[in-house]
Chain A
Amino acid sequence: MNYEGLSDGQLWMLISADDRKAFGYSFKLYSKDLFRYGRKFTEAKEVIEDVIQDVYLDLWNKRKGTQIQQSIKFYLFTAFRREIIKRLSKLRKQESMDYFSPEALLEASYLEGLIKQQGERESNQRLHSAILRLSERQREAVYLRYFADLSNQEIAKLMGISVESVYNLIFKSIKLLKGVMVNDVQYQSK
C-alpha cells in the first residue's frame, strides 16, 4: 500500500485501525523534523531521541482513544515540546549541566560555524553570526514556520503565545537577518 498520497486524517484512521506500516510512515514523515526541533532546546541527542521514542509509543498506545484534533504532525509537535521541556527541567534540577546548550556550547558552535564558512562570502558569515544572535524563541518560531511548515496559528498554540506574537517573533528575526545582508550589499557597491 502506498501511503504517500494519504491525508493526515486518513493516515490517522489507518493507525487507529492498528496499521503498523502507517505508524511507520508517520515516523518516517515527522521524526526528523522533531529531532531538528529538539535541537532548539538541547544539544543532548540522547534526550531528544528518548523523547521522540516516548512520543511515538504514546501515539501508538493512544491510537484507540485519542481524537487527533488538528493533525498527527501538530499532535506530535505538541507532545514533543511538552515532554522535552519537562525532561530538561528535571535534568536541570539534577545539575547535569551538559544536557543544556549553555553559552559555552553556543560559542563553540559559533566558532565552528565561522571556520566552516571561511572562504565563503562575507555576507554568509554575517548571516550565520546573525542567526546566532536570535533568541531561543525566535529560532524556535522560525524553525517551526520555515522548516516544519506549521502555520502561524499552530505555532501560536504550540508555543502558548498569541498569533500576533508569533508573527512578531518571525518578523523581527527576518528583519535582523535582512539587516546584515543590506549592509553587505551597500558595502559591496561602494
Chain B
Amino acid sequence: MHKILRQLAAIGKQTRRNLAHTLGTQLVVLGTVMLAVLIFGFFALISLNLARAGKDLDRHVRFIAFFDQEQPQAARRQLIQRIQAAMPESHIVYVDKKTAWRRLAERLGGERAILDDLGPDFLPAALEIQPGQRLVTVEELDTFAAFLRTLPGVASVRYGRGWLVRFMAFSRLLRVVTLLSGLLLVLTSTFTIAATIRLTIANRRHEIEVLNLLGASAAYIRLPLMAEGLFHGLAGSALGLAILTGLHRWVLTHFGSQALFLSFHPVFLAPAHLLLIVAATTLLCLLGSLVSIQRCLRAS
C-alpha cells in the first residue's frame, strides 16, 4: 500500500513537473482543443436550433376547406366529427362568411374602404383545420387534402402546397448538409486534436528516451503523459463549452428582442449533449496520447 502511494506520488510529481516545464506547449494544445470544441459546439447549436425551427414550422401547417355556401349548425358538427375521426386531436374552427369578411376588414385596416362596394357575403365560409398529427411528407399532406375535398359542400381546399413542398425539400437538404458538415467537422476536430497531441509527444521524445534509458517502467512514462491528455480533454472541452455558453447568453441578451427571436426562442445544448462532447473529447485526447506514447516508446 505504502509502495503504491509512493508510486502514485512520483507519477503525480512527474505530471506536475511536465505541465510546469512545458507551459507554452500545454497552452497551445489546450487552445487547440478548446477551439475545436467551440467550433463543433457552435455548429451543433446551430444545427439543433435549425432542426427545432423546422419542427415548429411544420406544426403550423393549416388546411382551409372552402364551402360553396354557408353550412347549417348540424352539418358543421357532422363535418367536424368526420375530420376528428380521420385526424384525431385536430384543431378545427368554422369561419362563417361574416367572420371571414370582418377578419379581412381588420387585416386591411385603413384601406378597408375597398370592401365597401362588396357585400359581407362575398367571401366563402370555410373550415380552418390544424391537423392533430404531424404531416411530414407531401404525400401525407395531399392525402389529407383529398380527404377534405370528399366532404359534402367542400368546393376547394388550400394549404399552401407550393410553399410547403419547397420548405420540406429545404428541410431535407438542411438535414443532409447538417449531417455531412457535422461528420466533416468531427473528422477535422479529431484530426486537429490528434495531430496536436502527437506533435506535443514527439517534441518530448528526448525526455521519453532518457526516462527509458534510466529504466523507468512503462507506467511511469505513460501515466503522466496520459494524465496530460486527460487534462487537455477535460479542460479544453470545458473551456470551449463555457465560451459557447457565454456567446449564447450574449446573443440572447443583445438580440433577444429582435423579430427573429419573438416567434422562435433558441435553445442551448442539453446537459447530456454537453457531457457527451466532454467525454468524447477527453477520450480522443487520451487515445491520441496513448498512440503517440506507444510510437515513441517503440522508437526508443
Decide whether A and B are members of one complex.
Answer: no
